[in-house]
Amino acid sequence: MPAADPVAFRFTPNIRLLVLGLSFLPLLVSLGFWQLSRAGEKQQMLFEARQLSLSAPLDISRHAGEQLTALAPHTPVVLTGTFHPSRFWLLDNQVYHGQVGYRLLQPVQTDKTWLLIDRGWIAGYPDRRLPVIDLAEDRHLLTGKILQPGLNLMTQAATLTPDDPRILDINLADLRVASGLDLQAVVQLDAVSATALVVVQSVVNVRPEKHRAYAVQWFCMAAALLILLVCTNTTLLPWLGLQQSNNNDEV
């Protein structure tokens, strides 16, 4: 029997697959570029934090109002203040070396106002019992950096209760109402500062490298989808000789 004629390359659309694939393709590409954009933002945040870390600490013991709110996140600071003897909060779901715990937040009164001090990480119990809290007392010289707290508006309202100090986010407005203290800013202590616990320094929650890896994954998925669309909507595979043609007519 004579050899079969070569298969011509042509467009053989499968409308349903084509519409479905072309609907997802722009989304996958957009997600890839969004991750690259996030990587750039995180890289800029890390650069700014490194630059600020080289500056001399600013004494904020007599700062208040706009003097505090105008400070950039990660600005090195030093202050002298007195810890509140009984008020504290526990920032929940904080993981350190694979163990779930809390970050201990305790108000400090300076010469001008109140600040919320992030003293560091403490371990939690698997049964969700509150840990034993060693509250700082008296007046101390503290060193740290201005912290930009994260905020989840969907969960914060449910976390502030009079009998439970655990919170899911640092919302200064809500904490001011709950405590009656005019909390102006959040300061994360340095590891060597007085009263510091286990201080976990983190400028960004996701490193730029991870965002770039996510971007590669999205772009690869987009490329795979594009190849699938070409293979299922053209005669590419028979044309390349990788698949038998559906044309079984004899010559």
Per DSSP, the residues of 50-116 read HHHHTSPPEE-TT--THHHHTSPTT-EEEEEEEE-SS--EEEEEEEETTEEEEEEEEEEE-SS-EEE
Residue 185 lies in a domain: yes
Residue 6 lies in a domain: no
pTM score of the predicted model: 0.73
Q: Are residues 21 and 60 in the same domain?
A: no
- The mean per-residue pLDDT over the stretch 53-67 comes to 89
- The mean per-residue pLDDT over the stretch 78-83 comes to 96
Q: Are residues 86 and 145 in the same domain?
A: yes
pLDDT at 144 (0 to 100): 95
d(CA 170, CA 212): 29
d(CA 8, CA 128): 68
pLDDT at 154 (0 to 100): 47
d(CA 219, CA 28): 7
3-state secondary structure of 155: coil
Residue 152 lies in a domain: yes
Backbone angles phi, psi at 124, to 5 degrees: -105, 175
The total number of structural domains in the chain stands at 2
Nearest Cα neighbor of 89 from 147, 32, 174, 6 is: 174
Contacts of 157 (CB under 8 A, 6+ apart): 174
Q: Is the dihedral of CA 219, 225, 227, 230 positive or negative?
A: negative
Q: Are residues 100 and 224 in the same domain?
A: no
Q: pLDDT: is 62 or 155 the higher one? A: 62
Backbone angles phi, psi at 50, to 5 degrees: -65, -40
Range of the domain at 215: 15-42+208-233
pLDDT at 92 (0 to 100): 94
Residue 197 lies in a domain: no
Q: Are residues 165 and 218 in the same domain?
A: no
Q: Are residues 60 and 35 in the same domain?
A: no
Q: pLDDT: is 237 or 49 the higher one? A: 49
Q: Are residues 180 and 77 in the same domain?
A: yes
pLDDT at 251 (0 to 100): 36
Q: What value does the mean pLDDT of the chain take?
A: 86
Q: Are residues 100 and 129 in the same domain?
A: yes
Q: Are residues 220 and 132 in the same domain?
A: no
- What's the pLDDT tens digit per position in 134-179? 999 899 999 999 988 765 544 544 456 767 899 999 999 999 999 9
